[in-house]
Amino acid sequence: PNPNRPLREDLVLQASLEAYGGVRREGRLSDRALEFVLRRKTLLYSTERRAVAERVYALLRRQRTVDYLLEHSHRNFETLDGTRQDVMRLATSRILHGEDPNYVSRTCGLSGQDLTVLDRLPDAAAELDALPEAKRFPIAASLPDFLAEKFRAVFGKDASRAAEAMNERAPLFARVNALKGDRAQLQDRLAAEDVESTKPTALSPFGIVMETRLNIFSLQNFKDGWLEIQDEGSQLLGMLVDAPPTRVVDACAGAGGKTLQLAAQMKNRGDLHALDVDEGRMEDLRKRARRAGVHNVRTQIIPPEGPEAEAALAPLKGLADRVLVDAPCSGTGTFRRKPDARYRLTPESLAEHVARQKALLARFATLVKPGGRLIYGTCSVLREENEEVVEDFLSQHPEFTVRPVAEVLGAELGAKVSSGPFLRLAPHTHGTDGFFGAVLVRAK
């Protein structure tokens, strides 16, 4: 297809409205809503599909800002019917993201009186800028009030920069499968497949940054197991495990991005136990392991809680050199990729995450052998889910002490990615998703 062919804006708008409606009105997850709509729109060119995805994500990232601007540009915005509101939202978001206002007003599907709303946006933006900081920040950052407060607590004077970076499009990171070769070899192999524009990640020695418009899954190198899609921050968290080729447990393995990284650290030797509560994700992991040529992984479905969960873990009690607990969390570090997650999070659901994190850490700590290590990680930037969970655990488990991550990653890399003894990554400081990591050593 010709990439310079003009977009058929009416088709793009229709698909964008359907996908956006799926997220905001039917409560679907953004990636699922897009997949559902785009699968049925077989006539769209690839450039148009991309435009739909980009516009829907862009609007979700800036939802609060866009709604503020429209409520201040249109006297009775709240009373309009849903579709008309959404057409205005999509147009406003495009202008907010730097598209030419004249082009937007010609192609946005608004007409007559509705179009004049776009002319009033600059004045509404000036009103937003004039608000006192405590009022302005949550709207400009497009965060629910309670999260905006937490961002300010965690990032202090950098809160605006942190939120801005969370509202940008994430790069596409891949990790070389070290069982096959190294990063330079992967780049050569990709170049042979006409994928020229890859560059090494700044922090992870195993990562490359790829062109986001690429369909990685169609690459021969992907099918041959040479690379996995994995955020650079996640790669650094995996490196904290520093897994020896003995007995290692990935306690919340999910679809297994980090499991495969650990298998490569272990050079496919020893026993790597991948545990999860979800059969579907485990099936994904098995497929990915086969593709990657990984054969030291043993998958195990475990019950989520109660005596059955304890019984399932009994055979591993006190036997593991490393246990990784990459805990389910608020996902506040991944807003670039899952922009709608911020509107689903509530103070209550955050409290549930924290309670679950504390329970998981205590449960899986029992698998660590004397002298072994427990690695705790989240893709959250909030202190409650990170430092505070670790402090709570240590207060009840005096046999564990913190090992500074710089001692595991080496002084040079450690200095770049740690805050005190912990791994602390965020988009505005490292260009990665937001991650936290702690290494806890059990006394001999």
Considering only the C-alpha atoms of the chain, give the largest distance between any 2 of them, rounded to a whole number of Å. 76
3-state helix, strand and coil shares in percent for the chain, rounded to the nearest 5 = 55, 15, 30
Q: Which residues are catalytic?
A: 379
User: How far is C-alpha 158 from the chain's CA centre?
Assistant: 20
119 annotated binding-site participant? no
- Beta bridge partners, 271, equal 247
Compute φ and ψ for 65, nearest 5 degrees. -65, -50
Question: Which of 55, 124, 47 has its CA nearest to residue 89?
Answer: 55
Contacts 24+ apart (CB under 8 A), 67-75: 68/124, 68/128, 68/139, 69/96, 69/121, 69/124, 69/125, 69/128, 70/117, 70/124, 72/120, 72/123, 72/124, 72/127, 72/128, 73/117, 73/118, 73/120, 73/121, 73/123, 73/124, 74/117, 74/120
- Apex 284 CA angle, 280 and 287, nearest 5: 140
State both tokens at 401.
């002490």
326 annotated binding-site participant? yes
Count of CB atoms within 10 A of residue 314's CB? 9
**Look-up: residue for tokens 């490196």?**
239
Give the whole-angstrom CA distance, residue 49 versus residue 17.
13
b/e per residue, 342-352, with b = 16+ CB within 10 A?
Answer: bbebeeeebee
User: How far is C-alpha 386 from the chain's CA centre?
Assistant: 16
- Known binding-site residues for S-adenosyl-L-methionine equal 276, 326
Q: Can you say which residues are annotated as belonging to the binding site?
A: 276, 326
